[in-house]
Chains A and B, each alone.
Chain A
Amino acid sequence: AQKVTQAQTEISVVEKEDVTLDCVYETRDTTYYLFWYKQPPSGELVFLIRRNSFDEQNEISGRYSWNFQKSTSSFNFTITASQVVDSAVYFCALSDPNSGGSNYKLTFGKGTLLTVNP
């Protein structure tokens, strides 16, 4: 069965520090997709990135970067030079053919609450 583990429940950093949010996943499929979403205090989930299982290239988008390692089934997310506005809950999610057949449902991790202090 598919599973996403975000072992870090809460992380607190001081502004300008770098922070890495861990995500480990389990799936039987060779084709799957990984996502990161941000949920700020307002509640609306914001899509950050999607990665397919055949593309292990790391990605950088501004202060955000993602490290996908199939060998360790991990898809970690790093924020460089964190800012107060980065404070939010971050969810890692997995989508594969077994999670709902053709609907490719999302399996979410429990989320990591990131607090960036000024």
Chain B
Amino acid sequence: GAVVSQHPSRVICKSGTSVKIECRSLDFQATTMFWYRQFPKQSLMLMATSNEGSKATYEQGVEKDKFLINHASLTLSTLTVTSAHPEDSSFYICSARGQAMLLPQYFGPGTRLTVL
């Protein structure tokens, strides 16, 4: 199956700093990548959708200036949490999908962000 990697897997930072999370599709070209947030024992909440070379589309209630998404190539998307605060602590998961929009999304292993 398709492989998606995420880096880092875990990050601890101080309040006010910015954190960048990378999502890579390793063996396929990802036309579309998705970023999710998951709180403990809860479902995945879609934050934004990004298509390669285009601006990301954010879900209602997600601050685009707070969560910067860049999808500069067909294998890499990044999520930057700017000026992180403790309430941004969460499990962030990316997924990637190939060129046919009806293909499944394949998920990365997630990044556990803890903001002190």
Contacts and interface: CB of A to CB of B under 8 A. Distances in A.
Nearest to A45: B107
B115 to A, nearest CB: 18
Nearest to B111: A43
Per DSSP, are chain B's interface residues mostly helix, strand or loop, or mixed? strand
A33 interface: yes
Interface stretch (A65-73, A79-87, A99-107): A99-107
A102 B1 CA distance: 24
Specify which of A33, A42, A105 lies most central, judged by the most chain B CB atoms within 10 Å of its CB: A105
A43 B110 contact: yes
Interface in A94-118: 95, 100, 102-106, 108-111, 113
B67 interface: no
Interface of A: 33, 35, 37, 42-47, 50, 52, 91, 95, 100, 102-106, 108-111, 113
